[in-house]
Amino acid sequence: MTSTPGHIELERSIDSIRIGARHRTDLGDIDALAASIERQGLLQPITVTPDGILVCGARRLAALRQLGVRKLNVWVRSGISDRLTQLLAEQDDNALHKSLSPTEAATLYREVKALLAEEARHRQESSRFGAAPENRRSGGAATVAAPVTLLDGYARAQAALLVTGRRSYTTLDRISDVQRITADESVDPTIREQAQRELSAIEAGGSVASAHRRLNTQLTLAELEHLAADAAQPAGIRQASSVAAARVHAAERSVTAAELEQLAREALARVKAAPKAKGSRPAHPSASTAITSKLPTRSFVFLWNDLHDWWLRYDVAEIAAELTEEQWEQFEAALAGTLTFAERMRAQRSDVQAAAREAQAGAPS
């Protein structure tokens, strides 16, 4: 047995080394690594904890097993018993030998982020209340700590930097969202299957942002369709949800993934903001919930395509007899708003056409 600062080296049987929970699922080309070890020997020892849990060297260990090696010299590191340090040691090994795949990186990122946030909270506690000698989790090192609301932001930025070398936490969070959907049994199986396909596409180099947007759109559509089919919802909510879902489906082939996601999100927001009972409607249409972002012209065209000759599809006597007061007020408000919008648009079109005629008259012949 030899000893150097930070670790000791000793002989250990391969079967006594425990792998434990690791984030790498694809070990890569073990045959090539085994051939290299057979030619040149093991250039860098495998590292384990004092109780024999592997810290780094999973690929080397697999290659040695493939070569039939029974015993080897390992480094036994002290001071790596806590989970965060083990994760960082694992990442150091990955960075030096074989990069993590996008989904492996996202899984490691989530665990490192949670541990970093927990560590930051412990430091904040010690700075607020002092480091009590009996409090083993209080380090007492911090004198000024960030507010609790900033800890998660700090943790995700640091975790992304540690795992990927970049502050790519948005990408890692998006992959994590897709992974969460595949594991959530409460989600519709069809959407879970799509999420799994999106993960496979990401592993093959596909766009993470596009995959995330497509899934968000499908989740929003599922919620709209659930509201449309929910007998416990008011008739107006069910109808609005059905129309909104149909409009989003109609736009699927003519807009970008980002535009479709926005269209679906805003449609759901409007449905949820709609009054659910008599008396909940604002006194005047101008007092209704403000919509901060406007839909594109394509959405306007889809809406009026859906409404083409709508008055020919209903029986006036039947509708008049069956509408509640609330539903009639809703129709009146929509009609008044439509007429106001039409007048404003008519005036705008007149101005635009006049400007175009002036420009044409002033153009050199």
Assign 275 to helix, strand or coil: coil
Mean pLDDT across the stretch 168-193?
A: 90
Number of domains in the chain: 3
Do 179 and 245 reside in the same domain of the chain?
no
Residue 357 lies in a domain: no
- Residue 5: pLDDT band with limits 50, 70, 90: very low
What pLDDT does residue 95 have? 45
Q: What is the pLDDT of residues 6-35, one digit of tens each?
A: 455 667 788 888 776 554 556 777 888 888
Alpha carbons 181 and 215: distance in angstroms, whole number? 9
Residue 352 lies in a domain: no
Residue 158 lies in a domain: yes
Do 74 and 115 reside in the same domain of the chain?
no
Q: Tokens for 152?
A: 């998660």
User: Residue written as tokens 């690929």?
Assistant: 59
Residue 324 lies in a domain: no
Q: What is the pLDDT of residues 199-243, one digit of tens each?
A: 999 988 999 999 999 999 999 999 999 998 888 888 888 888 888
Give residue 286's domain range.
207-313
Q: Give which of 138, 135, 20, 141 is closest to 83, Cα–Cα.
A: 20
Do 173 and 235 reside in the same domain of the chain?
no
* pTM (predicted TM-score): 0.49
Q: Give which of 93, 99, 54 is closest to 72, Cα–Cα.
A: 54
Alpha carbons 86 and 47: distance in angstroms, whole number? 11
Alpha carbons 275 and 255: distance in angstroms, whole number? 30
Do 226 and 295 reside in the same domain of the chain?
yes
Q: What is the pLDDT of residues 41-69, one digit of tens each?
A: 776 777 777 667 777 778 888 889 898 88
Mean pLDDT across the stretch 162-182?
A: 84
Residue 355 lies in a domain: no
Residue 318 lies in a domain: no
Q: What is the pLDDT of residues 87-140, one digit of tens each?
A: 555 554 544 445 678 888 888 788 777 766 766 666 555 545 444 444 444 433
Mean pLDDT across the stretch 273-295?
A: 53
Q: What is the pairing mode between strands 46-48 and 71-77?
A: parallel
Residue 335 lies in a domain: no
Alpha carbons 135 and 125: distance in angstroms, whole number? 11
What pLDDT does residue 192 have? 92
What pLDDT does residue 122 have? 60
Residue 356 lies in a domain: no
Do 77 and 111 reside in the same domain of the chain?
no
* CATH number reported for the structural domain that contains residue 54 in this entry: 3.90.1530.10
